[in-house]
Amino acid sequence: MSIAPSVRTAPAGRIGRDPFFDNAKFLAITLVVSGHLIEDLRDVAVAHAAYSYVYVFHMPLFIVLSGYLSRNFTFSSGKARKLISALAVPYVLFELAYSLPRLVLYGKLEISLLDPYYLTWFLMSLFLWRLSTPVWQQLRWPLAVAVGLSLLSGTSALPDELSMNRTLGLLPFYVLGLMLRPEHFELLRRRGVRIAGAVTLAAGAVSALAVHGSVKTEWIRWRHANEAIGVDDLTGSLIRLGLLAAGALLVAAFLAVTPSRRTWYSGLGAATMYAYLLHGFVVKAAERFYGDWAATPPGVAVVAASGVGLAALLCSPPVRRAARWAVEPRMDWAFTRLRRPG
């Protein structure tokens, strides 16, 4: 999503994007899109299992990558301006845009820029995580502190403003990304690790099929405190710790099987923010037209598979040109001129 481009030195000495990260981002956005497309079909057991499985790690994956590619964030003028134009302004625009379908479909117009609606929570949380980057880089045990804050957030009835439950609950994945180094990703590309990753993903899918009916969906959404989900704080903290561990394991497994070579979708992976912010309109419209055919295992498979095509379409150059004004707005006119050193 709003993830800065990664760079590496190409054989010819040119600087270019690493297709590994673009591949990972595109594959991850297909999980997000497909997950949202089948969300309204969860009365079908296979849809509920797939939804539960994907939600354990699809956003943690994006958050880990966001953290890794935010390692160089500072409060310099250029970085601060990019933070405003890439996250703050799109957040305001899409928070307003997503309020309009609610008005048309449900007759409600509720606009609160501090209380993110639907997909926009990620922009709010990523904005806050990026701001906190220098703090985590100064701590000796940043991941332990982040996990502690995540567990403590489940013991309190936090306000919806600033997406506090998700911002604190999912914080360890961002901090984990900040701690990763290129050699960690190289380790994931070893043959043995790739095989283990595939086995882990398969085992996770089988486990989801076995237990999805007994796990409350709110655990994987990170939106509420332990009490609101119906457990005491000790039980809730253990469940949250287990979800953090499972999410990290599945993220590593997913990255291990991600191709490192250039693929047909590598170029699309550079524009996943478009698919993320735009697909919600398609999902909300599609849900109104699902027929009985969709509420069957074959129908769920078709709907989920269509997520790949929708994600590719929304990342395509024509869509990017049409929506750039909102997703990647040019804000030079709003800033003072940068002072050049010397």
The per-residue pLDDT of the chain, averaged, comes to: 90
Under DSSP, the state recorded for 8 is: E
**What distance in Å separates the CA atoms of residue 21 and residue 149, rounded to the nearest whole number?**
28
| Residue 9, phi then psi, degrees to nearest 5 | -90, 115
Of 83 and 75, the structure prediction assigns the larger pLDDT to 83
The pLDDT value given to residue 107 = 72
In a domain, 113, yes or no: no
Query: Does any domain span residue 282?
Result: yes
Q: Among 12-21, 142-151, 222-231, which is the least confidently predicted range?
A: 12-21
Q: Can you give the pLDDT at residue 115?
A: 85
Distance, in Å, from the CA atom of 121 to the CA atom of 166, rounded to the nearest integer, reads 8
Burial class of residue 13, CB neighbours in 10 A (0-12, 13-18, 19+) = exposed
167 domain residue, yes or no: no
How many domains does one find in the chain? 1
Backbone angles phi, psi at 8, to 5 degrees: -155, 170
- Is the confidence at residue 251, as pLDDT, over 80? yes
Between 297-314 and 272-287, two packed helices, what is the crossing angle to 10 degrees? 140
Lowest mean pLDDT among 116-120, 243-247, 249-253, 309-313: 116-120
Average pLDDT over residues 110-125: 87
Q: Does the residue 290 lie in any domain?
A: yes
pLDDT greater at residue 110 or residue 168: 168
197-212 burial code (b ≥16 CB/10 A, e <16): beebbeebeeebbeeb
Is 130 within a domain? no
Q: What is the pLDDT of residues 139-159, one digit of tens each?
A: 999 999 999 999 999 999 888
The pLDDT value recorded for residue 7 is: 37
Closest CA to 26 of 260, 328, 271, 277: 271
Q: Which pLDDT value is given to residue 98?
A: 87
User: Do the domain assignments include residue 84?
Assistant: yes
In a domain, 163, yes or no: no
Euclidean distance between CA atoms 266 and 24, whole angstroms: 9
**Which pLDDT value is given to residue 332?**
85
Query: According to the model, what pLDDT value does residue 12 have?
Result: 36
**Residue 136 to residue 177: CA distance in whole angstroms:** 11
Residue with tokens 């191709």: 259
Q: Give CA–CA dist 215/238, Å, rounded.
A: 14
pLDDT in tens, 291-332: 889 999 999 999 999 999 999 999 999 999 999 999 999 988
284 in any annotated domain: yes
**Which SS3 state, helix, strand or coil, does residue 16 take?**
strand
CB 129 within 8 A of CB 66: yes
Of 24-33, 202-211, 283-292, give the lowest mean pLDDT range: 283-292
- Looking at per-residue pLDDT, the higher value among 110 and 229 belongs to 229
Looking at mean pLDDT, say which of 134-138, 238-242, 284-288, 290-294 comes out highest: 238-242
DSSP 95-112: HHHHHHHHHHHHS-----
pLDDT of residue 105: 67
Structural domain harbouring 257: 8-101+174-222+249-334
